[in-house]
Amino acid sequence: MLFIEFAKYLDKLETTSKRLEITDILSDLIKDLSTNEAAQAIHLTLGQLKAPFESQKFNIADKMMVKAVSQAYQLDESEVQESYNTLGDLGDVIINIKTQNKSTGETIDTVYTALLDIAQIEGKGSQEKKLNKLSELLNKLDPLSAKYVTRIILGTTRLGFTALTIIDALVVYLNGNKDKQLKTDIEFKYNVHPDIGLIVAKIIDKGLAGIQDIKMEPGVPLMPQKPQRLGTTEETLEKMNGTVWAEFKLDGTRVQLHMDRKKKLHIPLTETPLFGENMEDKIFVKTFTRNLDETTHQFPDIIQAAKEYINADSVILDGEAIGYNKETGEYLPFQETIQRKRKHGIEDAVTEIPLKYLVFDILFYNGNETITKPLIERRKLLNKLIKKNDIILANDNLLTTDPSALEDYFMEAKNKKLEGLVVKNPDSEYQAGARSFSWVKLKRLEGGESTQLADTIDTVILGYYFGKGIRASFGIGGFLAGVYDKKSKEFKTLTKVGTGLKDEDWVYLKEQCNKLELKEKPSNVEVAKELVPDVWVKPTIVTELRADEISKSTQHSVGYALRFPRLIKFRTDKDALDTTSTEEIEELFRLQSK
């Protein structure tokens, strides 16, 4: 397919916010794609080059893109910058200034290859090389194609859909209408191998049978299972048919660990090993976050321990990494643990913030998937694999049918200054990507805290307000927060927040929002006119909030609102689609009423 035809599809997608129209347009696009270009095109529609876990980034900022545009079209850089300041979008700047050029016949493949080459340039003089190749590419393209290439590079495509919408489009492509079982089959495969480009290519090639070739493998993270919420131990036991497997709920960072002793690990030339590792014979070990980002470089201590203390040829583990005080043994709060999330100074961080990796599940073992085995069997296998050590440990657990024993275990967690328990059905499979009642968060007991909502809520920032008084000096005085509704595939508003932030938090938030500022409302955000923020931002920044209570609301699009909300922390380990669900909000309202 010529890239100009692909750009026309992107333009159609941008001009509608209707979910069914978006699905139909994507389905038509899939029909027009060849097998060889399908993965490239689908990733580009999502503003990426590869699946998220492959971590292929452009690392090109607005300033460099302004230079590339001015160089490509032989314009003064200040002229381009002035137009950018006025229009707020470099893609629109190109449409305004580049009217004479016509397409030179670039295809999806040739443009994608050029973009990948640009992204992979590293080392000395890399910025200048990127600039030259980028301006050369822009000069070859017609205005519409150049507009979307620019937006893809800067991450400002604003098309308002996710991989889940593409799955809906695949159902239409295969069946012509809604087919719940067909969607379930494709979603299952995506959840255990979340590369939507690969899935589309396989379906174009062989139909639904094509995705049977896609298997779980070390190096490809699964979408994590997440817990639901219930209010009491009795209700939880009833949901689990009388027997529960309880584990301490840790306030750390979710880590999925992948190891394959028979697979070699490619090490970029820019990276150097820690702990005196041999570069010539490096075992494949990687870690990923709950939102599929690779974090291997952050956890050299866990990586080294995995090689020494996990007795398996290949394995995928799910667990929580949490910092601890070396003197007292107590676990550290999330905000201290998350300081390990840095690119530089890792050796110092390992010493300053030692970690324990508390594993609660095994998803793959020696070439075979284990997710379909009952939890109790998976844990028996897990316990056999981990040799005695101080870094990688199986998380504590309690198997019981007794409500009082469960309550005692809950109080033990609280005494350890932990959040509470995650209670699981011991006979359940691991449900990748699901939020089901086979896992339940228990953060309070009946008759517990009553002066405030007993649980926190994860939201995503949709925009911000300038504020008045002293906050006006920060350029921000409050923000609009929402949650992701999986059914409508939209972000819905839940609350406005203006408390719980220190001065440095406001400064940090303004800096982050500046990077994500949008000229107009994203098409997948539902908001009332009276709540429209002064500045829209790309839904990316996840915040954990606490409130006194949840109330019903006719103003907020989720149907509920938070009373006296305040920021607890920024959740840099979570994705915008991983907010508290609308169903959970309803459940929390029900529990609060009880």
Average pLDDT for 424-429: 96
Contact 36/109 with Cβ under 8 angstroms?
A: yes
CA distance 258 to 529: 47
Phi-psi region of 542 (alpha: psi -120 to 50; beta: other; left: phi over 0): beta
CA distance 131 to 135: 6
- Claim to verify: residue 122 and residue 261 sit in the same structural domain: no
pLDDT in tens, 446-465: 544 444 566 789 999 999 99
Q: Best-predicted range by mean pLDDT among 28-37, 256-265, 415-424?
A: 28-37
- Claim to verify: residue 358 and residue 330 sit in the same structural domain: yes
In a domain, residue 522? The reply is yes
- Claim to verify: residue 488 and residue 541 sit in the same structural domain: yes
In a domain, residue 553? The reply is yes
Phi-psi region of 206 (alpha: psi -120 to 50; beta: other; left: phi over 0): alpha
Specify the pLDDT at position 491.
94
CA distance 418 to 333: 9
Average pLDDT for 569-582: 88
Q: How many CA atoms lie within 13 A of 371 on its CB side?
A: 21
CA distance 340 to 354: 9
Specify the pLDDT at position 241.
87
Specify the pLDDT at position 591.
76
Mean pLDDT of the chain: 88
CA distance 512 to 580: 21
- Claim to verify: residue 240 and residue 383 sit in the same structural domain: yes
Specify the pLDDT at position 593.
65
Instruction: Label residue 253 exposed, middle or buried (CB < 10 Å: 0-12, 13-18, 19+).
Output: buried
- Claim to verify: residue 286 and residue 344 sit in the same structural domain: yes
In a domain, residue 110? The reply is yes
420-424 and 253-264: which strand pairing? unpaired
- Claim to verify: residue 493 and residue 404 sit in the same structural domain: no
Residue 280 confidence class, pLDDT cut points 50, 70, 90:
very low
For residue 186, the one-letter residue type is: I
Average pLDDT for 324-351: 78
Average pLDDT for 518-538: 91
Of the three residues 105, 133, 154, the one that is the final residue of a domain is 154
Main-chain phi, psi angles of 247, to 5 degrees: -135, 150
Residue of 334 and 571 predicted with greater confidence: 571
- Claim to verify: residue 101 and residue 147 sit in the same structural domain: yes
In a domain, residue 38? The reply is no
Q: Is 249 a catalytic residue?
A: yes
Average pLDDT for 477-504: 91
Domain CATH for 582: 2.40.50.140
**Distances from the Cα of 241 to the Cα of 234, 244, 373, 554, angstroms:** 11, 8, 18, 38
Specify the pLDDT at position 190.
96
Contact 545/567 with Cβ under 8 angstroms?
A: yes
Specify the pLDDT at position 267.
55
Q: How far apart are the first and last CA of the chain?
A: 58
CA distance 283 to 305: 12
pLDDT in tens, 382-411: 999 999 999 999 999 999 999 889 989 988
Contact 353/341 with Cβ under 8 angstroms?
A: no
Specify the pLDDT at position 474.
85
Whose structure tokens read 């952050």? 298
Instruction: Label residue 281 exposed, middle or buried (CB < 10 Å: 0-12, 13-18, 19+).
Output: exposed
In a domain, residue 26? The reply is no
Residue 293 tokens read as: 């980002």
DSSP output for 124-164 = TTHHHHHHHHHHHHHHHS-HHHHHHHHHHHHT-------HH
- Claim to verify: residue 467 and residue 391 sit in the same structural domain: no
For residue 162, the one-letter residue type is: T
CA distance 90 to 148: 10
- Claim to verify: residue 380 and residue 289 sit in the same structural domain: yes
- Claim to verify: residue 344 and residue 421 sit in the same structural domain: yes
253-264 and 490-497: which strand pairing? unpaired
In a domain, residue 205? The reply is no
Residue 188: CB partners within 8 Å, gap ≥ 6? 432
Which domain covers residue 149, as residue numbers? 47-154
- Claim to verify: residue 436 and residue 508 sit in the same structural domain: no
Of the three residues 409, 442, 475, the one that is the final residue of a domain is 442
DSSP output for 58-75 = ----HHHHHHHHHHHTT-
Contact 266/312 with Cβ under 8 angstroms?
A: no
Q: pTM to 2 decimals?
A: 0.82
Catalytic position from the list 202, 249, 441, 443: 249
Residue 594 confidence class, pLDDT cut points 50, 70, 90:
low
CA distance 36 to 419: 48
**Distances from the Cα of 482 to the Cα of 174, 225, 234, 344, 545, angstroms:** 33, 22, 31, 33, 11
In a domain, residue 70? The reply is yes
CA distance 484 to 535: 19
- Claim to verify: residue 429 and residue 471 sit in the same structural domain: no
For 427-491, give the secondary structure using H, E and C: CCCCCCCCEEEEEEEECCCCCCCCCCCCCCEEEEEEEEECCCHHHHHHCCCEEEEEEEECCCCEE
pLDDT in tens, 148-166: 999 999 888 877 788 999 9
Specify the pLDDT at position 342.
64
In a domain, residue 405? The reply is yes
Sign for the pseudo-dihedral over CA of 414, 418, 424, 426: negative
Find how far residue 163's CA is from the centre of its chain: 12
How many domains is the chain built from?
3
Specify the pLDDT at position 450.
41
Q: 24-38, 416-430, 437-451: which has the minimum mean pLDDT?
A: 437-451
Domain CATH for 145: 1.10.3260.10
